[in-house]
Structure 1
Amino acid sequence: MRLLSERRSAALVNDELALAAAREAFLAARDGATFPVVVAHGSDPANRFTVKSGAMPAGAGVKIGSYWPGNDALGLARHGSVVIVLDQRTGRVAAVVEAAAANAYRTAAADALAVQALARADARVLTVIGAGHQALHEARAVAKVRPIDTILIAGRRPAAAEDLARRLRAVTTASVAVAGVEDGCRAADVLVTATTARQPLFAAEWVRPGTHVSAMGADAAGKQELPTGLYARARLFCDLTEQSRTIGELQHAPATAAITALGDVLHGTAAGRTGADDITVFDSSGFALQDLALAAALLAEDARTTAASEDR
């Protein structure tokens, strides 16, 4: 059995590796298998975890994502992620990949993949609503797939938004500024929401024609970032339709709404953007094939770099 520690996976991951793994996962979603998500908690209900499982040619197994808010007092990250990869011949554990840091790249890669597939080619203004840990990864990943020259940060906590803007300036050549939510929405070519909200973050009329929206915050019943009024104006896309309807953002969409899996767009069997004025919405609820593809990529990169080091 191989063990990839948190330190090692964090050293190996990058936006390019994560984006390639995301593309592999979304392409595999049509033929691969995913299973119902288990949403659970520890003996203290504030400590939560999810179990996502699936199978694809690159691997089969489970991803356990944890959220322990009390870790702040211990000097540890609140979020954890472990991927357990099974040997598909024997069912034994083939590898354990600790991937808390890599998981942030994985989540951002899905939204960046949607931007690459659905946003206008000339999109230049990116607005991120949210100023937490994930928002940094979202902004950096999206800025690498479109000619983004302006990034606007809109958050409920001004100090956190300013801090995120400062950190972003160190990793991107785009102009970065803090903006109000309405101003940020009205200016956006690409709008990314990265929050834990349970009610809409903005008004539907603030989104102008031609905008692409990637929403990643909803991963449980009751969570919501987008206004329901947006659905009548937009073309809707997601990672897994049934899951998005159950625990994702599109649990709030009308039952009659047409929803397209992003994997079908990547396969060329469904249309993506059809015109410059389309508003496109992508809901990322996250699925196990992303984690399995990322784990396989990290294990392959670990083997490659280790062999290269030994050759020297």
Structure 2
Amino acid sequence: MHTVNNTNLNNVGFVSVSDMLSLLQHIGTEAFLLGLVEYLEQDYLRWELFDKSPRFASHSTDGVIELMPTSDQQQFSFKYVNGHPKNTRIGLQTVTAFGVLADVQSGYPLMLSEMTILTALRTAATSAMMAKYLAPKEAKTMAMIGCGAQSEFQILAFKVILGINQVRIYDIDRTAMLKCQQNLANQGLDIILCDSAHEVVKGAEIITTCTADKRNATILTSDMVQDGVHINAIGGDCPGKTELEAALLLRADVFVEYEPQTRIEGDIQQLDSSFVVTEMYKVIRGDRKGRSFAAQLTIFDGVGFAIEDFSALRYVHDLIKQQSSHQQLELLTNQANPRDLFGLLTPATQATRLVVGA
């Protein structure tokens, strides 16, 4: 039986950007990624318990704003996230986000958290988790196409979870490659800068595509990719935004998070509904095979799904509960008589609150 502690529910935990950075410094980014993968796998194993639907998306000429809700009937979460590729031209980030974890029984929020950093971590952890089941065994070399804000997180997660030690990187913006190389200089990785997408995939056992333009692009063509490779395709994540040639998809076994959402937003939006894909919870649970032979070409068509945000928020909430103190927000009213909300507006009540607050 899920019980409610009224005292705790009146305090909403708050995780600011500074708090998230302090948490990562305390735990270590690699250890954080390992713990996050554990939470992701736990929740993928409970797939049927969750509410599932394609995310709400408000599209504009310059980008998209999305809400991503889900619940396991004990806790509810949602994430607000945007995607505006043009933002970097005016000194703003392409993606920003925040999220809420709430108690289902009472409806009270438990935690409000930054999710710009956390989304990058959960996307990287999800990619690496999927690759555990789909990538060639003992893979050591990864190609990274697109060296934006996600790239270092992706590379570090593949190092921690799969043991990747050589990374070939390519971006049309050389300064982005140099940024990635510098950020990963002390991570025990061999970073190789390449001059083209054709060059970067040579010898790579895993290929990650993570580009930002909101358009139907062809970053990888079928002739560029050998059999036996795993492709982690995470840049095609909204309608009209793709990275892989349709012919490449047709050669491969394609795995997705939640098929109804990926049909709308992923690279498989190029194909009709008769094209067969496998939802990854079936692989993680052991109902379906992931990689089953050496020459198999596998693709994870990742768009990001609400259950992954739920896992990330649940993980952070458990971590901050272990701390002796963490920030609290006065986000909710807490009057003595729950039915007397108007009473908070009276001068006497306001004076009492000011004295108590002092």
Give the TM-score, by structure 1 length: 0.90
Per the TM alignment, residue 40 of structure 1 is displaced from its structure 2 partner at its CA by 1.7
Identify if the C-alpha distance between structure 1 residues 58 and 121 changes in structure 2 by more than 3 Å, giving closer, same or farther.
farther
Per the TM alignment, residue 236 of structure 1 is displaced from its structure 2 partner at its CA by 0.7
1:163 to 176, 179, 183: 179
Identify if the C-alpha distance between structure 1 residues 160 and 74 changes in structure 2 by more than 3 Å, giving closer, same or farther.
closer
Per the TM alignment, residue 35 of structure 1 is displaced from its structure 2 partner at its CA by 2.4
Per the TM alignment, residue 256 of structure 1 is displaced from its structure 2 partner at its CA by 2.2
8 Å CA contact 1:150–1:176 kept in 2: the answer is: yes
1:238 to 251, 256, 262: 256
8 Å CA contact 1:127–1:191 kept in 2: the answer is: yes
2:21 aligned partner: 10
1:219 aligned partner: 237
What CA distance in whole angstroms lies between the structure 1 residues aligned with 2:80 and 2:288?
Answer: 32
Please give the per-residue CA displacement for 1:105-137, whole angstroms capped at 9, x wherever unaligned: 011111111111111112111000001010111
Equivalent position amino acid for 1:246 in 2: I
Identify if the C-alpha distance between structure 1 residues 184 and 60 changes in structure 2 by more than 3 Å, giving closer, same or farther.
same
What CA distance in whole angstroms lies between the structure 2 residues aligned with 1:46 and 1:72?
Answer: 12
What CA distance in whole angstroms lies between the structure 1 residues aligned with 2:203 and 2:296?
Answer: 16
Please give the per-residue CA displacement for 1:43-90, whole angstroms capped at 9, x wherever unaligned: xx6364110111125621211013467876997644321112221102
Q: Do structure 1's residue 86 and structure 2's residue 97 form an aligned pair?
A: no
Question: Which structure is larger by alpha-carbon Rg, 1 or 2?
Answer: 2
What CA distance in whole angstroms lies between the structure 1 residues aligned with 2:36 and 2:43?
Answer: 10
Q: Do structure 1's residue 264 and structure 2's residue 275 form an aligned pair?
A: no
Equivalent position amino acid for 2:16 in 1: S
What CA distance in whole angstroms lies between the structure 1 residues aligned with 2:74 and 2:252?
Answer: 34
Equivalent position amino acid for 1:299 in 2: H
2:164 aligned partner: 148
SS of residue paired to 1:187: coil
What CA distance in whole angstroms lies between the structure 2 residues aligned with 1:70 and 1:129?
Answer: 19
2:317 aligned partner: 299
Q: Do structure 1's residue 174 and structure 2's residue 185 form an aligned pair?
A: no
Please give the per-residue CA displacement for 1:140-166, whole angstroms capped at 9, x wherever unaligned: 111222232210001111222122122
8 Å CA contact 2:53–2:261 kept in 1: the answer is: no
SS of residue paired to 1:296: helix
Please give the per-residue CA displacement for 1:226-258, whole angstroms capped at 9, x wherever unaligned: 111112221110111111111122212343222
Identify if the C-alpha distance between structure 1 residues 284 and 306 changes in structure 2 by more than 3 Å, giving closer, same or farther.
farther
8 Å CA contact 2:127–2:232 kept in 1: the answer is: yes
Q: Identify which range, 254-263 or 271-280, moves more after superposition.
A: 254-263
**Identity score, percent:** 21
Equivalent position amino acid for 2:21 in 1: A
SS of residue paired to 2:241: coil
Please give the per-residue CA displacement for 1:185-228, whole angstroms capped at 9, x wherever unaligned: 23210000111242110221211111001111122101101111
SS of residue paired to 2:243: coil
1:1-312 matches, within 5 Å, as 1-13=12-24, 14-40=32-58, 46=62, 48-56=64-72, 59-67=75-83, 77-170=93-186, 172-179=187-194, 180-197=196-213, 198-306=216-324
8 Å CA contact 2:79–2:306 kept in 1: the answer is: yes
Please give the per-residue CA displacement for 1:4-61, whole angstroms capped at 9, x wherever unaligned: 222212332432232223223322333311223111268xx63641101111256212
Identify if the C-alpha distance between structure 1 residues 247 and 71 changes in structure 2 by more than 3 Å, giving closer, same or farther.
closer
What CA distance in whole angstroms lies between the structure 2 residues aligned with 1:212 and 1:300?
Answer: 33
Identify if the C-alpha distance between structure 1 residues 302 and 163 changes in structure 2 by more than 3 Å, giving closer, same or farther.
same
SS of residue paired to 2:125: helix
Gaps of 5+ in 2: 1-11, 25-31, 327-358
8 Å CA contact 1:10–1:99 kept in 2: the answer is: no
Gaps of 5+ in 1: none
8 Å CA contact 2:124–2:153 kept in 1: the answer is: yes
Identify if the C-alpha distance between structure 1 residues 131 and 242 changes in structure 2 by more than 3 Å, giving closer, same or farther.
same
What CA distance in whole angstroms lies between the structure 2 residues aligned with 1:105 and 1:203?
Answer: 28
Equivalent position amino acid for 1:35 in 2: S
Identify if the C-alpha distance between structure 1 residues 283 and 58 changes in structure 2 by more than 3 Å, giving closer, same or farther.
farther
Identify if the C-alpha distance between structure 1 residues 223 and 31 changes in structure 2 by more than 3 Å, giving closer, same or farther.
same
Q: Identify which range, 180-189 or 121-130, moves more after superposition.
A: 180-189
8 Å CA contact 1:56–1:289 kept in 2: the answer is: no
What CA distance in whole angstroms lies between the structure 2 residues aligned with 1:58 and 1:128?
Answer: 38
What CA distance in whole angstroms lies between the structure 1 residues aligned with 2:240 and 2:90?
Answer: 30
SS of residue paired to 1:243: helix
